Amino acid sequence: MYRLLIVDDEPEIRQGLRLKVDVDGLGIALAGEASNGAEALSLLENGDIEIVLTDMNMPLMGGVQFMEVCRERCPNVRVIVITGYEDFQYARAALRFQASEYLLKPVARDELNSVLKNVTAELNRERDKAQLEAKTLWELSQYYREMKEQFILRLVHWETGSESKVTDHARRFGLAVGMSVKCAL
């Protein structure tokens, strides 16, 4: 389940967005709401939030500044911009700070949920990739450990090859190369 933060200075807009999000169908939990970028950053630092819906025109800290700081502090958070302004500067900032999507208010329920579905699918792919990479690294570490154990057993049983091959293997496995290896030959 992914956690969603809604950021907008208008309480009725936040409520409308909250009602439009299909939390059950998308596997999203509402993590909270903020009325400006500064509040949003505080909530981001205190919780595991993966998705942010943000307005651009807000008091104290607007969407552009929020996205800039958010990208620095929370680079993995997906930001979806929802604004009532067709302002080229906002669109440019959304691109610069890698917003997942740029929507104009009023946003339709289907459009919002479609965007959220795409974002959660992307997060799922990244999570699956990270899990596969972790599994592969674990398997490789196990394989490495087994190879090292087999090498040590061959040394103990005097089943070694040439001195250079033994030295190369010892270095590869982080074993001290010195008189002990040479004496085993």
- What DSSP designation does 179 have? H
Q: Is 74 exposed, middle or buried (0-12, 13-18, 19+ CB in 10 A)?
A: middle
pLDDT of residue 8: 95
- The model's pLDDT over 14-66, given as tens digits with 9 standing for 90+, comes to 999 999 999 989 999 999 999 999 999 999 998 799 999 999 888 989 888 99
Compute CA distances 41 → 35, 86, 134, 161, 173, whole Å: 11, 25, 30, 61, 46
Q: Rounded to an integer, what distance in angstroms lies between the CA atom of residue 41 and that of residue 103? A: 21
Low-confidence ranges of the chain (pLDDT < 50): 179, 181-185
pTM: 0.73
Sequence-separated (6 or more) residues with CB below 8 Å from residue 180? none
Looking at residue 41, its amino acid is L
pLDDT of residue 141: 87
Mark residue 174 as left, alpha or beta (left: phi above 0; alpha: psi -120 to 50; beta: remaining).
left
pLDDT of residue 29: 94
pLDDT of residue 159: 66
What does the block give as tokens for 148?
């090292």
What does the block give as tokens for 1?
């389940």
Spans of all domains in the chain? 2-107, 133-184
CATH number of 2-107: 3.40.50.2300
